[in-house]
Structure 1
Amino acid sequence: MINFNGNITAEENILTQNRAFLYGDGVFETVKIINNKILFLEDHYFRLMASMRVVRMEIPMNFTMEFFEEQILNLVQEKGISASARARITVFRNDGGLYLPKTNEVSYLINASSLENTLYVLNTAQYEVDLYKDFYVSKQLLSSIKTTNKMINVTGNIFAHENGLANCLLINDTKNVIEGLQGNLFMLTGKKLITPPVSEGCLNGIMRKQILALAKKVEGIEVVEEIISPFDLQKADELFLTNVIMGIQPITKYRKKEFTSNLAHLLMQKLNETISGN
């Protein structure tokens, strides 16, 4: 069951002429729903609108934040999973044309699935990462938005699986570390918490924004956006990844270096307190 242009219907094949399928001509947002509420709704909405503008899509007049919210919640309610769910809304240019589209008008598709937990739960299992160096991420605006062209992430996940890794860290075209395959990267060295600036080519993450705000309220922690080199990882005390579905994922090992997760635990606690209103 999916929401296709506002109609909740059975899943069906809509790919034959679909430009997101043929050319990666689409953008998307993945959101988390808890107790029938979309977390960080405003941030997701404005990033989606910005992404559509970047790729020159025509934004429908009715595509307001309230419309965006209603369409997602209608689907999760229909599926009976509104207590805890993830939903993805994909916006793609309408059929027609080759590399040059016939229109900039768009359609959208929403799918949703249930999640086990309502609040975020920190995964404390072993989580080893390494660099993925087969391909590099360009330092450009397209790298900071969520498009349907995620081939680096796909091949990187295959590499991680083949090498017994939980995840890989991506590097940009100047060989700096920018993010994980499924989330933004944070590095704690001493009392300094560092995450790469968006200008380095990392995703302008929604959870990244929340963690930056929460970390700035932690006494004794300096929070900065700075370049991270592969050499810096070896000197870190903590490494963790963030995204809106998992919240915070501590990295336990990078090559021969092992890490603590004290700050990750503290920030996850503060994140859940913020969500629950405590």
Structure 2
Amino acid sequence: MTEKEEFYNELAYTIYNKYLSDLFVPQDGSFKLLSTIRYDPKLTEIPPITPQDITKENFFLFGEHYHRLVFSLTYFRRQITKNNELEFDISQDFLFEKLTEAIKLSNKIVFEPMKIRLLVSLDGEVVVELHDTGYRANLLDGILETQFSDDQIWDVYIDREVTFISPFTSFKTTNRKVYDDARRRTLPGKRPGKEEVLLINGSEHLMEGSITNIAIRRKKDEKWITPQLSSGCLCGVMRHFLLRKNYIEEETIPLSALEINCEVLLFNGIMGVVRGRIVS
């Protein structure tokens, strides 16, 4: 091996161990696929009174969550187990039963909203966790052209360290190290629950937030635009909904487009759409 080959081999090894080893673990199936689902009694005309009254419509974007989960399972099983087939029941009815069963066993009050963490392993094991979440009168109010108070607008920061694109940014899993690291590096903690950090990929293009997808206004026509999936962003369920309803469009967004005091949309399947403002 020549001196130059040794140099580049050592460089590649250093880059992999410093930046990529936590992102690409081909043989490691210890992570779980994750969906955070909003249960909301107000999503149906007649709110549930008992767990038996709950319908799929009470789980916000249930269909989008289901289809993303099946696609993600298929992808990771092909990559890790080399098996394209799902050898277990993962139907919509099965997941609905798991969700309602968890609510029934928890003795939680069904006329209060909940944040549900649905964890699915690559062998089909399902775990459901229930958490309290805030009331939202209108899950789409962030996209309305109205006046927002400073208290309603989130503080949005830009992480200046590169985030490498990987399957763990494109798919939602329990492997959230890049997001946790970005939050730890960047968020000051001045407004807990109202702060978000934006991730930038190696091409200096906007990807997403640490817990949200994002859209900014396109200057030429004021249309809301969101990064393309090729940026490495999560294929979020709320993102998919807003694209399908033509509230937003996809576009490559360079870091230079993120200006201080620029208003943005932040969205996910729990809080819907809220407004944010880039502060740093």
Global fold match (TM > 0.5): yes
SS of aligned partner of 2:181 = helix
Corresponding letter in the other structure for 2:35: E
CA distance in 2, matches of 1:68, 1:143: 24
| Alignment CA distance shift 1:202-1:239 (3 Å) | same
1:160 aligns with 2:197: no
Aligned to 1:61: 88
2:110 pairs with one of 82, 87, 112:
82
Aligned to 2:16: none
1:42 aligns with 2:44: no
CA distance in 1, matches of 2:72, 2:128: 17
Corresponding letter in the other structure for 2:127: L
- Give, in angstroms, the shift of residue 88 of structure 1: 1.0
Look at both structures and tell me which one has the larger radius of gyration over its CA atoms: 2
| Alignment CA distance shift 1:147-1:109 (3 Å) | same
CA distance in 1, matches of 2:129, 2:167: 27
- Give, in angstroms, the shift of residue 171 of structure 1: 0.8
Q: Which runs of 4+ in 1 moved over 6 A?
A: none
2:254 pairs with one of 229, 237, 242:
229
| Alignment CA distance shift 1:203-1:81 (3 Å) | farther
Give the count of matched residue pairs.
Answer: 216
CA distance in 1, matches of 2:187, 2:258: 21
Corresponding letter in the other structure for 1:44: H
CA distance in 2, matches of 1:116, 1:169: 23
Contact residue 88 and residue 110 of structure 1 kept, 8 A: yes
- Give, in angstroms, the shift of residue 235 of structure 1: 8.6
Greater strand share, 1 or 2? 1
- Give, in angstroms, the shift of residue 141 of structure 1: 4.6
RMSD: 2.5
CA distance in 1, matches of 2:88, 2:121: 16
- 1:33-74: per-residue Cα shift (whole Å, max 9, x none)? 112321111110111111111111663432211110111112
Contact residue 185 and residue 240 of structure 1 kept, 8 A: yes
Corresponding letter in the other structure for 1:59: L
- 1:85-129: per-residue Cα shift (whole Å, max 9, x none)? 111111124xxxxxxxxxxx3322111123231543758425222
Contact residue 24 and residue 149 of structure 1 kept, 8 A: no
Q: How does 1:206-221 map to 2 (within 5 A)?
A: 206-216=237-247
Give the TM-score normalised by the residue count of structure 1: 0.69
| Alignment CA distance shift 1:230-1:27 (3 Å) | same
- Give, in angstroms, the shift of residue 175 of structure 1: 1.3
CA distance in 2, matches of 1:201, 1:60: 29
SS of aligned partner of 1:78 = helix
CA distance in 2, matches of 1:235, 1:72: 41
Contact residue 143 and residue 201 of structure 1 kept, 8 A: yes
Stretch deviating more after TM superposition (156-165 or 189-198): 156-165
| Structure 1: runs of 5 or more not aligned | 1-21, 94-104, 217-222, 256-278
Corresponding letter in the other structure for 2:103: V
- Give, in angstroms, the shift of residue 158 of structure 1: 1.6
CA distance in 1, matches of 2:101, 2:114: 13
CA distance in 2, matches of 1:30, 1:238: 25
| Structure 2: runs of 5 or more not aligned | 1-27, 42-53, 143-147
1:185 aligns with 2:217: no
- 1:183-234: per-residue Cα shift (whole Å, max 9, x none)? 1110113422211111110000101122223444xxxxxx431111111122
Corresponding letter in the other structure for 2:40: I
1:92 pairs with one of 121, 139, 143:
121
Fraction of identical pairs, as percent: 22
Contact residue 156 and residue 278 of structure 2 kept, 8 A: yes
Aligned to 2:8: none
- Give, in angstroms, the shift of residue 236 of structure 1: 8.5
Contact residue 89 and residue 108 of structure 1 kept, 8 A: yes
SS of aligned partner of 1:245 = coil
1:71 aligns with 2:98: yes
Contact residue 156 and residue 279 of structure 2 kept, 8 A: yes
1:240 pairs with one of 249, 260, 265:
265
Give the TM-score normalised by the residue count of structure 2: 0.69
Aligned to 2:135: 117
